[in-house]
Amino acid sequence: MSKKLTDDLRVHGEDYLDSVTVPQDDSVAGNVLVLGKGGQNNSFAVKVVVDAAITLTTSKTLTIAVKSSSDKSTWSTIASKEFTAGQAAGTVLMYLSLPPNVDEFTRVDVSTDDDAATGKVSAYPVYIPR
């Protein structure tokens, strides 16, 4: 993925998903990032963006899930969002301010129940200036 100048305050190279191909009837677990207990006092949000247009077969679903863990083995879903239609490149699928009760380790998972799904997504933490 080519990196572009955006309005997002990001840490270079810190990505949950870096232009990952949408899985076909499967799931992909993103990179585990350590943002600190409580998301450093609500200083971070998670942003998920479509890099290459996503196509889905009728009645199929794309799911994005933000998860956290205290030990990197047991994961709890903080929030998830489902999509039942294709999404254009550049679409922001999710923007979630991490809650104060989030565990130290976080990741973003993407899954579909569509064996013909296409497209690419990226997910990364965004610093929320105070």
* pLDDT band at residue 9 using 50, 70 and 90 as cut-offs: low
Question: pLDDT, tens digit, for every residue of 100-129?
Answer: 888 889 999 999 999 999 999 999 998 887
- Would you kindly state where each structural domain of the chain is located, as residue ranges? 17-127
CATH of domain 17-127: 2.60.120.1110
What pLDDT, on the 0 to 100 scale, is given for residue 17? 95
Q: Is the pLDDT of residue 12 over 70?
A: no
Question: Residue 75 and residue 105: Cα distance in Å, rounded?
Answer: 9
Long-range contacts of 26-29, Cβ-Cβ distance < 8 Å, separation of 24 or more? 26/111, 26/112, 27/109, 27/110, 27/111, 27/112, 28/109, 28/110, 28/111, 29/107, 29/109
Question: pLDDT, tens digit, for every residue of 20-48?
Answer: 999 999 999 999 998 766 555 667 889 99
Give the angle subtended at the CA of 14 by the CAs of 36 and 30, to the nearest 5°: 85
Q: Is the pLDDT of residue 1 over 50?
A: no
